[in-house]
Amino acid sequence: MLYEIFHTWHIVIGAIGCFANLLLCYVAFRKTPPATRSYATLIINFAVTDFAECFLDLFIQLRFVITPFNVTLIYVYHGLCQYTGPLSCKIGLSLFYHCFPHTTWSLLLSFSYRYYLLHRSPLSRKMLIFIIFLIYIPSLFQAIIYWPTVVDRDVILPYAEKFFPEYNLSKETGTLGGITTINEFASIYVIIHMAVPIFPIYVSMFVLRYKIVQKLMEKAAMLSEDAKASHNQILKCLIIQAFIPSLLMIGVVCYIVSQLGLVTHPFIEYLIFASICTMPMLSPFTYLTFIRPYKAFCLRLFHLQRRSMNNMDSNAYYSTTRSNGI
């Protein structure tokens, strides 16, 4: 019963997330006013990363079995990768993991660039792509080194039967894999890279937010109401996006209570990644809801009767952003 519930959850959330992020890619490419196209590069970076997370979640659909007070990790893959072989599951898992730190670094870049725009002219798209690639290198390195450490069913099954004989994982639906010990460089690097930067990055983001608001207040007399509204729209998107990863706390709490042996139950093991996969699904809706040209296009796409009103809103946004260089 639990398998069916969470299997359906992953399919629904993953499908919605893939569609929403593809839609965001399209509107960022086609519906962004020329004056803000450099910033759209960062939006596309988010959309591509979140699409990859949603697709990879569909591909692996992970159940994370944690051994209390031990260094062994057991994975059960219920996604499409069980039909394409264990190697594809390993690579899919490694790619899935590497998306999360890249999203966090990208959030910091977005706040930093928003602050930069209040002082200087926009960077070229090529320069932004180069910066995105630079911050992507640590995540790419993580993806490359992690998957070879994930072992196959034959190696991890004795550990599974030792720690969880009541689960009878030898007959479990899906593909079995895992990490025999996290006391290796690759596992240590993944843990550090995914966990350690989060706090300083989030502190930096809220400091930058404060500085952006202060700068907007200083320049209030120089900016039109529409220009300030444009800045505030993107700032609101970034703030909401910064809070979405708080859903990660559900997975973290589930992991901690399992690792400490307080609760060990299949529901907790399924919930860890079922909660995490909602983050890349929700993220694109911040832009599709709060960026006026994107919202106008979506309303025209799904509610054609509002076409004329939304055309006026989009044209107004285009003219104000172009005149104010935002």
CATH code of the domain covering residue 242: 1.20.1070.10
CA 68 → CA 52, 150, 206, 292, distances in Å?
31, 19, 36, 49
Q: Which of 58, 46, 117, 49 is nearest to 82 (CA)?
A: 58
Q: Has residue 314 been placed in a domain?
A: no
- How confident is the model over 138-188, as pLDDT tens digits? 999 999 999 999 999 999 999 999 999 999 998 888 999 999 999 999 999
Q: Has residue 297 been placed in a domain?
A: no
DSSP state of 1: -
Angstrom distance (rounded) from CA 218 to CA 221: 8
Q: Has residue 319 been placed in a domain?
A: no
Position 69, amino acid: F
Q: Has residue 291 been placed in a domain?
A: no
Confirm if 64 and 73 have CB atoms less than 8 A apart. Answer: yes
Q: Has residue 313 been placed in a domain?
A: no
Q: State the total domains in the chain.
A: 1
Round to the nearest angstrom and report the end-to-end CA distance of the chain. 52
Strand partners, 176: 76
Q: Has residue 143 been placed in a domain?
A: yes
Domain that holds residue 42: 2-284
Confirm if 155 and 133 have CB atoms less than 8 A apart. Answer: no
Mean pLDDT score of the chain: 86
Q: Has residue 310 been placed in a domain?
A: no
Query: To which residue do tokens 């919605």 refer?
Result: 16
Please state the pTM of the whole predicted model: 0.86
From first to last of its 326 residues, the chain has per-residue pLDDT tens of: 788 999 999 999 999 999 999 999 999 999 888 777 888 999 999 999 999 999 999 999 999 999 988 889 999 999 999 999 999 999 999 999 999 999 989 989 998 998 898 888 889 999 999 999 999 999 999 999 999 999 999 999 999 999 999 999 988 889 999 999 999 999 999 989 988 888 888 889 888 888 887 887 777 666 666 666 666 776 777 678 777 777 777 888 888 888 888 988 999 999 999 998 999 999 999 889 888 889 889 988 887 544 444 454 444 444 434 333 44
Q: Has residue 290 been placed in a domain?
A: no
The three-state secondary structure class of 203 is helix
